[in-house]
Every structure is written in C-alpha cells, then in structure tokens.
Structure 1
Amino acid sequence: MKVENSIRVKHQELLEKYSALKAEVGHLLVESCEKNDWFFEHRLKSEESYALKLSTGRYNDTEIDDFYACTIVVPNLRYVADAVELISECYDVFDKKPGETIKSRPTDFSFNSIRMNGRLKKGVTENYLDSCVFEVQVKTLLEHACNKATHDFAYKGGTVSWSKERLAAQIKAVLDNVDLSILEMESLSSSRFLDQKNESYEKMGLIVQFIRNEWGSESESIIPYDLKRLAEVTANVLSAINLDLNNLMDAVKKETSLGRGKHTKNQSIYSIFLQSLINQERRNVMIYLRGKKQKYKQQILIPSEIELPEGTDIKTLNNAVVLPR
C-alpha cells in the first residue's frame, strides 16, 4: 500500500516512543498473566494499518488510541472481572467499553469484548511516556480463538463480503452462548432436564466425598487436582475385584486403626486404597491380579511402595503393572 511520506514520518516517530511503552506495559502484564495462567499478546500498529486508521477521520490528532494495544485472554467469563481489576490497579484507566449502558442492538455481536484505554501511572517511568494512551482488551479463550479464525477474511480481507461477515457474526453469537453456558454451568447443570442420574457417576461422586471426608482437613497437597480421575480409577479397580465402596471404606478404617492406612506417609491416596485392599481383602485382589490376562481387562498399577503378600511372584500377576523397586 502506498503511504504518504508525512504519515510514514509520523508513524516512525510514534513507533520509537510506543516501543518503549510496549516494553513497560508488556513486562508487567506478561508476568501477571503467567501467574494467573492467562494468555497475553501485544502489538504495535503497522505503517499500513496506522494510515488506514487515520483515514477514518475519527481522530483530531495523529496519535491514535491503539497504536500500542494488548490483549489478555482468560479461560472463561468468570475471570474477566479479575483481569479488569488487574488493569485498573496497574494503570490509569480513563475509558472502558462497553459501559453499563450500551447502544448496540441485541443482534449485533461485533466488538463485545472489554476494551479499556489507559495511561501509565505518573512517576512509574520516564515523563515522555506519561501521555501515551494504549488499549487493553480482555477476551475469553473462545472469543479470542473465534476472532483469530475469522478476523482476516471477514473484516480486513481483500474483498467485501456480506455473507462472510454474516457467517462470522453467527459463529460469534454461538460462541457467546457457549461462554455464557460455561459461566452459568453450576446453575444450568441443576436443571431438571439435565440433572440425570448415572450409576457410574454416582459411584465416583461417593468416592470423591469419601476422599474429602478423610483427607479434606489435612494438607491439600495429598489430594490430587484431578480428583475425578482418581475416583474413576478407584471405581474401576473396585469393579474389577468385585468389591464396592463400603469394602474400601472398611479396609481403610481397619488399616488406619493399625497405624497404617491414612497414617502412611510415603504413599498416595491411590496406593493407600490399594494397600488397604490388599491387606484386608487379599483374596479378591490376588484372584484378580493372577487371573487370565485379556486385551481389554483392567490393569492395576502397583507402585514399588506397595507391600505385596509375602512370597508373591510378580511374574504371576497377569493383570498388574508392577513398577520396579
């Protein structure tokens, strides 16, 4: 694209100043986003994009409000308020869109993400950057992915297409509803149309409850983050050896009363469960472990910290994955 020399000169002048601003803002926000496991990206306006933005006639000066702009991407709508609070604490925010009252029609899904214009707080860095305005957008992961996938061909492509923009808006509308459903998942899941009973999930739910009852008051480090996976594995093991949760609870209780069970310090909750079952329900466990190996049969992991019955030949444990000592 042909750009007038006067605009190119101004762009170069702003580029030098806003590059320093980018380094200042980016350093702080990158660090904050990494701590929160959010995604961060930022950019400076290209010469061509800058010239086109000026040509809209919306600016009285040659300094536009998004010469430097950045985006914080959060997992879902639940975290948007946290990101907005972070930006407000770090910078002098003087404009935020959309506000409490919006002018867009309910059928319009363009530019719905949070956009904040701000400046560095005075005294933070060199005075010549104090007046620089920059833009921060806050988007959900779904919204960001949608924008990346549709932005170029729908909004800034080399052709004008009503149908493409229409399709992009429809996709955006669908994903907006998905974002909202994720935010309200807790309440929506209790709907009588969705709140169905499933035997496997009922069992896993009881196992999770048992784990929280037994270890909830202790250091959270022993309870895995993916508690559902532990419950699923435990349920599969119990099903394989023809025992139920009551058998497991009794086994753990007996082992704990003997100074083992919950008192064991070198085993995970999974291993405590397995060790308790081996000690208290040995017959069922060993029959299964020594049974005929089949392609889709449950294999039971036995870490080296597990104490097998004396005289056990691990070569006979066809349905076990025994980790070497």
Structure 2
Amino acid sequence: MKIDEQLRTTYKRQRALADRLKNEVDKEILARKPSSWHYESRSKEEESFALKIEAGRVKNPDAIEDAFACVVVVPNYSDIKDAERLVIDLYGSPAYKRPQSHEITTKAPSDFRFDDLRLYMKYVEQGYGPPTGLAGVIFEVQVRTFLQHAWTIATHDVVYKADNVSWRRERVAHQAKAALEQAEVTIESMAALELSAALPETNDQFTLINEIISTLKSHWERDQLPRDVRRLAEGVYALLRNVRLSDGDSFRELLDVGQAKYGGSHNLNWSPYRSILQYLAEQQPDRLARFLTNKKSNGSAFVYDAVLAEMGLNRAGAPRATVLGTA
C-alpha cells in the first residue's frame, strides 16, 4: 500500500517512541503480574497506522493513543479490577478509559460489540535506572479475560481483515461473543449457582471424597498435606475403591488404628498416601493383595517396593501394582 511521505515520517517518529515504551512497559508489567495472567504487547505497524489516521479515527495524528499497546489477560471477570489496580499502581490514574464504568454501559442489551476495558496511560518514570525520556507519552492497556481474549484471537482476522464485509459473518462472531459472555456470567456466579435447588446436591463419589478430605485434614497439619488436597483425596478414593473399602467410617478407622500403632502420630518420613498404603498392607492385607494380584482387573495403584515386600509379593506377582523403576 502506498503511504504518503508525510504520514511515513510521522509514523517513524511515533514508532521509535512506541518501541522504547514497549521495552520499558514489558519489563515493568511482567515483573508485577501474577504467573496465572497472560501478557502481550505490540508496536503499531505502518500500514495500520496510516489506515487509522486516513479513516479519521484519530484526534491527534501526531500522537496516536495506541502506537504502543499491550493486553493483560486475567482468568475471570472478577480479576479485571485487580489488573486495573496493578496498572494504576505503576503509572497513576489513566488519562481516560473506555468504557468509563464497569457498572454503566451505553450498549443496548442486544449489543455484543467489542467492549474490553481499555486504559490510556501516561508513562511514568519508575525511579530506577537512567531517565527514559518517555514521561507523559500515552499508551493503551487492554484488560480482558481469557474467554474474551480467545474470542478476539479467533474472530479478529476473520471479521476485520477479510477482503469483504459480511453481515452473516459478523452476526455469527457476535453470537459467539454473547455465548462467551453467558459463560463468564455463569463462572462468576458459580458460588451462588452451587446453592440452586434445581441441581442435585451431590453423589456418592463426591460425598466420600469430601469425607476423605475432611479426614486427611484432621490427621495431618496443613503444611504436611499437598496444596492440592483434592487430588490426593481422589487418589485415595481410587485406592479405597480398588480394595473395596469405600466408606468414610472405614477410612477414619484405618487412619486411627495406624496412627495408634506408630505412637500416636503418623510417620512424617512418609507421605500421607504412603502412610495410607502402609496401613492397608498392615490392616487389610487380604483386600490389598487380592486387588494387586488380580490379573483380570483393569485398575492399578502405585505401590512402593517396600510395601510389596512386607506383603510377601513381588512385581511379577502383582500385575495391578505400578512401581518405580519400570521404565
């Protein structure tokens, strides 16, 4: 595309600023954002710059607001305010933002056009290192959720960079956005929906897993359990189901007896799973051996060699046992 020399000169000056901004802002936001957030940025390309100005979409062609722009992507809608706060902590209050409010919109209920939060920030020197000369330069920070980000990536080129306009194509894109917004609302309201009488409250598996979690927490201190207690409980549930010991009372008794045998406390050199496995081998050896030696069963369980040896079994005779060092 032919670009007027005057526009090209203006672009080169703003691109140089944008590239310097990108270098600084990337470092500053990446250093502050949580690892669960996503961040990306870009300096505007020359053709996009020229098209935006010639289309009359810029109030000040000598300082366009998104010569440099970045996007912060957060897990859920409730995290958007945290991302906005992070940006404001770095650079102060935005020069302006769109939309102006989280609570009030100019859109009709039937309107699902692009409306991600956009903050227009004036760069502020962070007080370390040599001056950058960028103080006061405006740049754009978009904040969106992963679902919003996915919609933008999936539809942007198809809708906005096609060789023709299509009412149907844009209709479908915005229908997809409406569906994702409904998903956002559902996720945000999950705690309230959990209490809905329209849904069953639980099933036998979930009831037992919750009992296992409660029992684990009553037997081990919090720092002795993994951060993901649910995953441990699901592994214990599978083990108990395999040995046909699937009720909360039996599990509590298993731990109480095992704890008493070892002087009133669990062996902290063992993981909670290792302790449970040891107690099964000691208190329910027939059940555990029956499962481990069953060639027709489809299940399996991780078992330490020491536990197999205590039960008088070996790897060859325990086809349901998954053990270390088999690769």
TM-score, normalised to structure 1, is 0.90
The SS at the match of 2:21 is helix
Within the alignment, does 1:153 sit opposite 2:155 as a pair?
A: no
CA distance in 1, matches of 2:135, 2:314: 74
Amino acid at match of 2:304: P
Aligned-residue Cα RMSD (Å) equals 2.2
Matched, 1:178 2:177: no
SS in 1 for 2:207: helix
Equivalent residue letter for 2:322: V
* Residues 93-139 of structure 1: CA deviation (Å, up to 9, x unaligned): 22222223321222222222111010122464636311210010111
**1:11 corresponding residue in structure 2:** 11
Cα deviation, residue 44, structure 1: 0.7
Which position in structure 1 is the counterpart of 2:98?
97
SS at match of 2:150: helix
Q: 1:304 to 1:94 in 2, by over 3 A?
A: farther
What residue in structure 2 maps to residue 142 of structure 1?
Answer: 147
Distance change >3 Å, CA 10–CA 305, structure 1 → 2: farther
Query: Sequence identity of aligned pairs in percent?
Result: 30
Deviation at 1:62, TM superposition (A): 1.9
* Aligned match of 1:284: 287
Count residues in correspondence.
319
Q: 2:198 aligns with which of 193, 196, 207?
A: 193
Q: Report deviation, 1:256.
A: 1.3
Mean CA deviation greater in 242-251 or 6-15: 242-251
The offset of 1:272, in angstroms, is 1.4
Give the direction of change, closer, same or farther, for the CA distance of 1:293–1:44 in structure 2 (3 Å limit): same
Q: Which runs of 5+ in 2 are unaligned?
A: none
CA positional deviation for 1:86 = 0.5
1:26 matched to 2:26: yes
Distance 2:170 2:277 in 1: 57
Partner residue, 1:41? 40
**Alpha-carbon distance in 2 for matches of 1:105, 1:320:** 61
Distance 1:305 1:90, change over 3 A: farther
Q: Which residue of 1 aligns with 2:241?
A: 239
Q: Which amino acid is 2:188 matched to? A: L
Residues of 1 paired with 2:238 and 2:125: CA distance? 60
Which letter maps to 2:147? L
TM-score relative to the length of structure 2: 0.90
In the alignment, the residues of structure 1 paired with residue 311 and residue 256 of structure 2 have an alpha-carbon distance, to the nearest angstrom, of: 23
CA contact (8 A) 1:261 1:276 kept: no
Q: Secondary structure of the residue that 1:263 maps to in structure 2?
A: coil
Q: Distance in 1 between matches of 2:153 and 2:325?
A: 48
Asked whether the equivalents of residues 70 and 141 of structure 2 are also in contact (C-alpha less than 8 Å), the reply is: yes
Q: Which moved more, 1:310-319 or 1:263-272?
A: 310-319
2:169 to 158, 164, 171: 164
